[in-house]
C-alpha cells in the first residue's frame, strides 16, 4: 500500500478534508494508496480541536463519514516525508516557503496545489476546489497503477 501525505499549515482543515476524502475514494476505485495528513505549523495553533467543523460539514455533505477519527492536528516531521510515496501541499504560495525553511531538501519534491485557506476563501469555494484536486489525483494514481 502506497501513501500520499497531504500538507497544510495547521493540519486542521484543508489537509484533513483531503485525507478523509482520499481515503473514502481510493478503496472504491481499487486504488492501493492510503492518505495521511500533517501541518507545517500545527504546533503554533495550540489546542484548536481535532478537526475543523468546515471539514466535517464538507465531508458530511458528500456522504463521507470520518469514521470516529478525532485525532488532533499533527506537526510534519522528516519521517513523515520519508515514509510517503507522494507529498502534496495544498497551497503553493503558502507552503513552499515553509517547506524551504523547515525541510529544504524536500521543497522541490513536493507537489503543490492552489487551494486557499479561510483567510482567502470561504469553505463553499475552497472545499469544492480541494474536492476536484483530490478526485483528479485519485484518477491519476489509478491510471499509473494500471500501467
Instruction: Tell me which of 3.40.630.10, 3.40.50.2300, 3.20.20.70, 3.30.300.130 is the CATH number of domain 2-146.
Output: 3.40.50.2300
Are the C-beta atoms of 87 and 76 separated by less than 8 Å?
no
Q: At 3, phi and psi to the nearest 5?
A: -130, 135
HSE at residue 38, side-chain half, CA atoms within 13 A, is 18
Exposed e or buried b per residue across 88-101, where buried means at least 16 C-beta atoms within 10 angstroms of its C-beta: bbbbeebbeebbee
Q: What is the pLDDT at residue 132?
A: 98
Here the cell at position 139 is 484518477
Other CB atoms closer than 10 Å to residue 28's CB: what's the count? 8
Residue 70 CB neighbour total at 10 angstroms: 9
Q: What is the pLDDT of residue 84?
A: 98
Q: Is 146 helix (H, G, I), strand (E, B) or coil?
A: helix
Q: Kindly give the parts of the chain with pLDDT less than 70.
A: 46-47, 67-69
- State how far the alpha carbon of 56 is from the alpha carbons of 64, 105, 127, in Å: 9, 33, 11
Identify the pLDDT of residue 102. Answer: 97
**What pTM was estimated for this model as a whole?**
0.95
Amino acid at each position: 500500500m502506497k501513501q500520499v501525505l497531504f500538507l497544510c499549515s495547521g493540519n486542521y482543515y484543508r489537509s484533513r478534508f483531503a485525507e478523509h476524502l482520499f481515503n473514502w475514494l481510493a478503496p472504491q476505485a481499487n486504488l492501493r494508496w492510503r492518505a495521511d495528513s500533517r501541518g507545517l505549523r500545527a504546533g503554533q495553533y495550540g489546542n484548536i480541536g481535532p478537526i475543523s467543523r468546515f471539514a466535517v460539514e464538507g465531508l458530511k455533505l458528500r456522504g463521507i463519514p470520518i469514521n470516529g477519527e478525532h485525532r488532533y492536528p499533527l506537526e510534519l516531521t522528516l519521517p513523515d516525508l520519508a515514509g510517503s510515496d507522494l507529498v502534496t501541499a495544498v497551497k503553493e504560495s503558502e507552503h513552499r516557503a515553509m517547506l524551504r525553511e523547515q525541510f529544504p531538501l524536500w521543497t522541490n519534491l513536493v507537489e503543490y496545489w492552489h487551494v486557499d485557506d479561510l483567510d482567502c476563501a470561504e469553505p463553499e469555494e475552497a472545499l469544492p476546489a480541494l474536492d476536484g484536486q483530490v478526485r483528479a489525483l485519485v484518477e491519476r494514481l489509478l491510471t499509473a497503477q494500471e500501467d
